[in-house]
């Protein structure tokens, strides 16, 4: 259980780090959407390890294949199955993990839950699991763009204590992709890159924030009381490896304001109800209000470090473990396409839900 996400635009992911591959089935995508592998591969390339010195060096081409659900370049309305074959399988590199629990990884909890686990590369707990999410998210993004004019963006807004200055209303994808950190503030990006590189050399890791944005969402998406738009976004983000927190709009900082200071006054622009400020993050009462949706996602420093750490083995004996080989100093640049993907999946689902009940 737990590997399906969405109510109407619904995805089911599968696959372990080592084994046949990783993939996803999308059920509920509307028919007649133009779709080929060329719509999906670029996002996978952005998620892929080894794309820059800043990220994990694992070498896989991650070439996606659409196995069903399209015909002559259009979606059929039937399930869209996509997969990426595993290539860089080096099970020997993980032999130690067969018997030792890596600190702050999921080795122990998987063992405790299932009584058994694929310890090669972390199995299902590997970040490789997100391949299916990114592939499905690319389809959702295309649907949102083509049918609704919605644009979904994400970027790295903070690495450790280094913060970027960005105009969320105007930032463009090109600016984000202009550097390997995926931070659209060039100066901050340079400092972040230096910090990541320095952290890598120290065999350590560093976390930070990814900023998520959705522009063009019309008023009315979101299903109170439980499936509020921000609730589904929060779940989507907290379902990501290494994610530790989520805030919508003014978020945590809202607690320092009074109600008078915080409220978004209504006004009319171009014959449409708008808010003067947008502390609500584009969502009020769980429903989009037509303003830009903005939120922030916290990622902890990833757990694999190149230093000896105290742990225990499967026989409950104290031991130590030291990361080797594949060390990803900062998950943030690769988290950007994943956050985009999950955002798009939530929005596509709610677009269809809105059409169903209120269309």
Q: Does residue 325 touch a copy of itself according to CB under 8 A?
A: no
Cβ atoms of 246 and 233 within 8 Å: the answer is yes
Give me the least distance between CB of 110 and a copy of itself, in Å please. 6
Q: What is the DSSP string of 15-71?
A: E-SSSSEEEEEEE-PPTT-B--GGGTHHHHHHH-TTSSTTS--------EEE-SSEE
In this structure, the strands spanning 243-248 and 208-215 are unpaired
Question: Distance between CA 119 and CA 105 in Å, rounded?
Answer: 11
Neighbouring residues of 22: CB distance < 8 A, sequence distance ≥ 6: 13, 14, 15, 16, 83, 84, 86, 128, 129, 131, 132
Contacting a copy of itself within 240-269 (CB under 8 A): 241, 243-252, 254-268
Which of 288/340 has CB closer to a copy of itself? 288
Using the minimum distance from each CB to a copy of itself, give the nearer residue, 138 or 231. 231
Looking at 3-11, 135-143, 168-176, 185-193, which segment touches a copy of itself (CB under 8 A)?
3-11
Question: Tell me, what DSSP letter sits at residue 218?
Answer: P
Nearer to a copy of itself, 72 or 167 (CB): 72
Name the residue nearer to a copy of itself (CB basis): 82 or 153: 82
Residues numbered 167 to 206 that lie near a copy of itself (CB under 8 A) are: 199, 202, 204-206
Tell me how many residues contact a copy of itself (CB under 8 A).
154
Q: Which is nearer to a copy of itself, 81 or 173 (CB)?
A: 81
Q: How far apart are CA 70 and CA 89, in angstroms?
A: 30
Tell me whether residue 173 or residue 303 sits nearer to a copy of itself (CB atom): 303
- Are residues 288 and 217 in contact, defined by beta-carbon separation less than 8 angstroms? yes
Q: Is 266 helix (H, G, I), strand (E, B) or coil?
A: strand
Using CB under 8 A as the binding rule, whether residue 209 contacts a copy of itself is answered as: yes
The distance of closest approach from Cβ of residue 243 to a copy of itself in the complex, given in angstroms and rounded to an integer, is 8
d(CA 223, CA 238): 19
Instruction: Give the range of 49-57, 165-173, 174-182, 314-322 binding a copy of itself by CB under 8 A.
Output: 314-322
Minimum CB distance to a copy of itself, residue 148 (Å): 13
**In the window 27-66, what residues touch a copy of itself (CB under 8 A)?**
27-32, 65-66
Please identify, among the stretches 48-56, 138-146, 170-178, 295-303, the one whose residues bind a copy of itself according to the rule CB under 8 A. Answer: 295-303
For residue 155, state whether it binds a copy of itself (rule: CB under 8 A): no
Out of 109, 186, 187, 324, the only residue in the binding site for a copy of itself (CB under 8 A) is 109
Return d(Cα 93, Cα 103) in angstroms, integer.
Answer: 17
Q: Which helix (H) or strand (E) holds 286?
A: none
> Applying CB under 8 A, does 22 fall inside the site for a copy of itself?
yes
91 near a copy of itself, judged by CB under 8 A: no
Nearest CB to a copy of itself, comparing residues 161 and 167: 161
Give the chain's radius of gyration (CA, Å): 21
What's the distance, Cα to Cα, between the start and end of the chain in Å? 31
Q: Give whichever of 51 and 309 is closer to a copy of itself, judged by the CB atom.
A: 309
């Amino acid at each position: 259980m737990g590997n399906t996400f969405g109510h109407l635009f619904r995805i089911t992911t599968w696959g372990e780090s080592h084994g046949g591959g990783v993939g996803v089935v999308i059920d509920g995508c509307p028919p007649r959407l133009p779709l080929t592998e060329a719509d999906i591969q670029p996002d996978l390339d952005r998620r892929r390890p080894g794309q820059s010195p800043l990220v994990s060096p694992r070498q896989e081409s991650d070439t996606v294949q659409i196995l069903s659900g399209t015909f002559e370049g259009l979606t059929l309305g039937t399930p869209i199955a996509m997969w990426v074959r595993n290539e860089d399988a080096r099970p020997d590199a993980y032999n130690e993990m067969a018997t030792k629990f890596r600190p702050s990884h999921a080795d122990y909890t998987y063992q405790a839950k299932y009584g058994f686990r694929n310890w090669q590369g972390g199995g299902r707990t590997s970040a490789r699991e997100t391949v299916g999410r990114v592939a499905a998210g690319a389809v959702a993004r295309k649907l949102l763009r083509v049918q609704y004019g919605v644009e979904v963006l994400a970027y790295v807004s903070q690495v450790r204590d280094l913060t970027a200055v960005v105009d969320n209303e105007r930032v463009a994808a090109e600016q984000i992709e202009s550097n390997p950190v995926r931070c659209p503030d060039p100066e901050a990006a340079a400092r972040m890159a230096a910090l990541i590189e320095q952290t890598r050399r120290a065999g350590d890791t560093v976390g930070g924030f990814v900023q998520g944005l959705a522009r063009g969402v019309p008023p009315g998406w979101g299903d109170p009381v439980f499936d509020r738009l921000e609730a589904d976004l929060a779940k989507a983000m907290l379902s990501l490896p290494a994610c530790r927190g989520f805030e919508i709009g003014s978020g945590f900082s809202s607690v320092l304001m009074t109600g008078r200071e915080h409220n978004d006054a209504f006004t009319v622009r171009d014959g449409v109800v708008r808010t003067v400020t947008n502390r609500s993050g584009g969502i009020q009462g769980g429903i989009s209000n037509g303003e830009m949706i903005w939120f922030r996602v916290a990622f902890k420093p990833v757990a694999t470090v190149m230093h000896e750490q105290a742990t225990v083995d499967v026989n409950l004996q104290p031991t130590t473990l030291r990361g080797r080989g594949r060390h990803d100093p900062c998950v943030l640049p690769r988290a950007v396409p994943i956050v985009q993907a999950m955002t798009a999946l939530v929005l596509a689902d709610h677009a269809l839900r809105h059409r169903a009940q209120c269309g």
